Amino acid sequence: MPDVLIQNARILEDGRLVPAEILIEDGKIKGIAKEFRVSAYDEKIDADNMVVIPAGIDGHVHFRDPGLTYKEDWYTGSCSAAAGGIVTVLEHPNTIPPVVDKVGFSLKLKHAKKKSVVDYGINGGVTDNIDKLKELWRLGISVFGEIFMAESTGALNISKETLGAALSQIGQMDAPACIHAEDEAIRLENEQLLKNDTGIDIHSRVRPNESEEKAVADCLEINKSAAFPARLHFCHTSTPEAVRLITQAQKDSSPLNNAGKVTCEVVPHHLFLSTKDYGKLGTLGKMNPPLRSPADAAYMIQALNSGLINAVASDHAPHMRYEKDAPMLSAPSGVPGVETLMPLVLAGVRKNLFTLERVIQVTSRNPAYIFGLDRLGKGSMAEGHDADLLLFDPKNIVPIKAKNLHTQCDWTPYEGMDGLFPGMTLSRGDVVWDGAQVIAKKGRGQFLPGAGLKTDEDGKIILDDNEDDE
Ligand SMILES: [Zn+2]
The amino acid at residue 164 is G
Q: How far is the CA of 50 from the centre of ligand 1 (A)?
A: 35
Average model confidence (pLDDT) for the chain? 94
Q: How far is the CA of 146 from the centre of ligand 1 (A)?
A: 6
**467, pLDDT greater than 50:** no
- Mean pLDDT, range 62-79, rounded to an integer: 97
Q: How far is the CA of 3 from the centre of ligand 1 (A)?
A: 40
Give the number of C-alpha atoms closer than 13 A to the C-alpha of residue 316, restricted to the C-beta side: 37
316 is in an annotated binding site: no
**208, pLDDT greater than 70:** yes
In whole angstroms, what is the distance from residue 371 CA to residue 358 CA? Answer: 18
pLDDT per residue as tens digits for the range 386-426: 999 999 999 999 999 999 999 999 999 999 999 999 999 99
- How far is residue 250 from each of residues 68, 166, 226, 262, 442, measured CA to CA in Å? 37, 21, 17, 6, 41
94 is in an annotated binding site: yes
Q: Where are the domains of the chain?
A: 4-46, 56-381+394-417
> Does CATH place domain 56-381+394-417 in 3.20.20.140?
yes
Least confident of 33-42, 134-143, 361-370: 33-42
Q: How far is the CA of 201 from the centre of ligand 1 (A)?
A: 19
In whole angstroms, what is the distance from residue 227 CA to residue 205 CA? Answer: 36
64 is in an annotated binding site: yes
Residue 186 CB contacts under 8 Å (≥ 6 apart), including other chains: 207, 208, 210, 211, 214
Q: How far is the CA of 217 from the centre of ligand 1 (A)?
A: 17
**438, pLDDT greater than 50:** yes
Comparison of pLDDT for 54 and 260, the residue scoring more: 54
Q: What is the pLDDT of residue 154?
A: 58
Q: What is the pLDDT of residue 95?
A: 93
Q: What is the pLDDT of residue 329?
A: 87
pLDDT per residue as tens digits for the range 260-269: 689 999 999 9
Least confident of 84-93, 258-267, 300-309, 456-465: 456-465
pLDDT per residue as tens digits for the range 279-330: 999 999 999 999 999 999 999 999 999 999 999 999 999 999 999 999 998 9
92 is in an annotated binding site: no
60 is in an annotated binding site: yes
Q: What is the pLDDT of residue 470?
A: 36
Q: What is the pLDDT of residue 153?
A: 60
Q: How far is the CA of 234 from the centre of ligand 1 (A)?
A: 9
236 is in an annotated binding site: yes
Using a pLDDT cut of 70, give the percent of the chain over it.
95
DSSP 8-state assignment for residue 361: I
φ, ψ dihedrals at 65, nearest 5°: -125, 120
- Mean pLDDT, range 432-454, rounded to an integer: 95
Name 233's bridge partners: 178, 263
Q: What is the pLDDT of residue 443?
A: 97
- The model carries a pTM of 0.95
φ, ψ dihedrals at 350, nearest 5°: -60, -30
- Active site positions, annotated: 315
Residues whose Cβ atom is located within 5 A of ion ligand 1: 146, 180
Using a pLDDT cut of 90, give the percent of the chain over it.
87
Taking only Cα atoms into account, the Rg of the chain, rounded to an integer number of angstroms, comes to 21
**257, pLDDT greater than 80:** no
